[in-house]
Amino acid sequence: MKVYEGNFLKDVVAKLLDDGYRVYAPVKEKNYHVFKVVENADEVDFDYINTRRSPKDVTFPENEVLMKYGEWVEEIPAQADKTAIVGIRPCDIQGLRLMDRVFLEDITDPYYEAKRKNLLVVGYACNEAGDYCFCTSVGLSPFKSDYADIIVTELGDKQVVEIRSEKGEAVASKFDLSDASDEDVSRKKELEQKVLSSFVRSVNTENLKERMAEAFNSDYWKEVAENCVSCGICTYLCPTCFCFDIFDDGELKGVRIRAWDSCQFPLHTLESSSHNPRREKWQRLRNRFYDKFYYMLVRKGEFYCVGCGRCIAACPVGIDIAEVINNIPSGV
């Protein structure tokens, strides 16, 4: 464990830019923060709990050109730029890890792989829990991640810098870091206890797989979906939603594009035969909860929710994923 006198996150942004990296960092817009490509360190603002959108579009863009075509395939764009995400929270780092399992296990997506291989992840531990956060309920920590290259904890007058990989070591070696003192370690532990005690929201995951299996045909899902407007904002803000559509823009000449899709949209499962296996709104909403807490648990062995709470904060009708899971009826 190392410490840095000053603002390591801001200084590392400046250093990475000098080294030719494409850097994504939190920037304040109006009353919220978003991850954006920055051109200098003065643009960044690390005074936030969580960004409005996750940075998943760094490796899985909202719209991505897969190829350009004419009489034949003329170009297959592949990003090979050195890229860094600086200031990413542990929940979003877990989101990256879960997306890796989707796009790099079994069948490898070459577009995702090219961006992921060249990505440096500099994490930022949480110093307070947001009103909608519940990462600890899904087995995560708000102040550490083994999947980051570097993770930084804010102690006010200094920052604790934990190096997690060779890539992280290569970057950290360019800074004047000193060993953490016993006092630094103690202050970090006190901060961690404070953060853990500040969570006001939780999800009961005990026997959840069995509870959800029993409740699949329950009318409960119709009740939950009553106010849903199928806007899809929950899926677009989610760090682990990976549904996409592919379409061609142009007939004899044009581009093939991959674009985010949402299981909450009526057309998402519409087949060419005109059959739609999830015609009703409540079926689509049920699918989202089962994808996060049941289907991917069966397929991958872990929840595909990181507890960031973005979907709760942004839902225009107040659907709360934590409340929905907690209130699943038993013995249905």
Q: For a pLDDT cut of 90, what percent of the chain falls above it?
A: 89
Q: Are residues 254 and 296 in the same domain?
A: yes
Range of the domain at 63: 2-197
Q: Are residues 187 and 231 in the same domain?
A: no
Q: Are residues 267 and 172 in the same domain?
A: no
What token pair was written down for 132?
């909608």
Q: Of the residues 197, 232, 257, which one is the last residue of a structural domain? A: 197
Long-range (24+ apart) CB contacts under 8 A made by 296-301 are 297/208, 297/209, 298/209, 300/98, 300/101
Indicate whether 332 belongs to any domain.
no
pLDDT of residue 1: 87
Q: What SS3 string covers the chain?
A: CEEECCCHHHHHHHHHHHCCCEEEEEEEECCEEEEEEECCHHHCCCCCCCCCCCHHHHCCCCEEEEEEECCCEEECCCCCCCEEEEEECHHHHHHHHHHHHHHHCCCCCHHHHHHHHCEEEEEECCCCCCCCCCHHHHCCCCCCCCCCCEEEEECCCCEEEEECCHHHHHHHCCCCCEECCHHHHHHHHHHHHHHHHCCCCCCCCCCHHHHHHHHCCCCHHHHHCCCCCCCCHHHHHCCCCCCEEEEEECCCCEEEEEEECCCCCCCCCCCCCCCCCCCCHHHHHHHHHHHHHHHHHHHHCCCCCCCCCHHHHHCCCCCCHHHHHHCCCCCC
Indicate whether 202 belongs to any domain.
no
Instruction: Report pLDDT digits (tens) over 162-182.
Output: 999 999 999 999 999 999 999
* Crossing angle of helices 110-117 and 90-104, rounded to 10°: 140
pLDDT of residue 332: 60
pLDDT of residue 277: 87
Please enumerate in sequence order all residues whose Cβ is within 8 A of that of 329, keeping only pairs 6 or more positions apart, or say none.
215, 218, 220
Instruction: Report pLDDT digits (tens) over 175-211.
Output: 999 999 999 999 999 999 999 999 999 999 999 999 9
Instruction: Report pLDDT digits (tens) over 126-171.
Output: 999 999 999 999 999 999 898 999 999 999 889 999 999 999 999 9
Q: Are residues 318 and 186 in the same domain?
A: no
Indicate whether 278 belongs to any domain.
yes
pLDDT of residue 34: 96
Q: Are residues 219 and 321 in the same domain?
A: yes
Indicate whether 174 belongs to any domain.
yes
Q: Are residues 121 and 168 in the same domain?
A: yes
Q: Of the residues 197, 225, 243, which one is the last residue of a structural domain? A: 197
Q: Are residues 175 and 236 in the same domain?
A: no
pLDDT of residue 77: 81
Q: Are residues 109 and 193 in the same domain?
A: yes
Give 101's pLDDT tier (boundaries 50, 70, 90).
Answer: very high
Q: For a pLDDT cut of 70, what percent of the chain falls above it?
A: 99
Long-range (24+ apart) CB contacts under 8 A made by 243-249 are 243/268, 246/66, 248/69
Q: Of the residues 163, 197, 231, which one is the last residue of a structural domain? A: 197
CB 225 within 8 A of CB 307: no
What token pair was written down for 86?
């600086």
Mean pLDDT of all residues belonging to the chain = 94
Count of structural domains, the chain: 2
Could you give the CA distance from residue 270 to residue 133 in angstroms, rounded to a whole number? 34
Residue 216 CB coordination number (10 Å): 12
CB 278 within 8 A of CB 284: yes
CB 160 within 8 A of CB 3: yes
Give 50's pLDDT tier (boundaries 50, 70, 90).
Answer: very high
DSSP state of 42: G
* DSSP-derived pairing of the beta strands 32-38 and 22-29: antiparallel
Q: Would the pLDDT of 61 be above 90? A: yes
Instruction: Report pLDDT digits (tens) over 91-100.
Output: 999 999 999 9
Mean of the pLDDT values across residues 110-123? 95
Q: Are residues 109 and 172 in the same domain?
A: yes
Q: Are residues 52 and 98 in the same domain?
A: yes
pLDDT of residue 78: 74
Q: Are residues 212 and 136 in the same domain?
A: no
Instruction: Report pLDDT digits (tens) over 244-256.
Output: 999 999 988 999 9
Q: Are residues 174 and 309 in the same domain?
A: no
Mean of the pLDDT values across residues 262-268? 92
Indicate whether 182 belongs to any domain.
yes
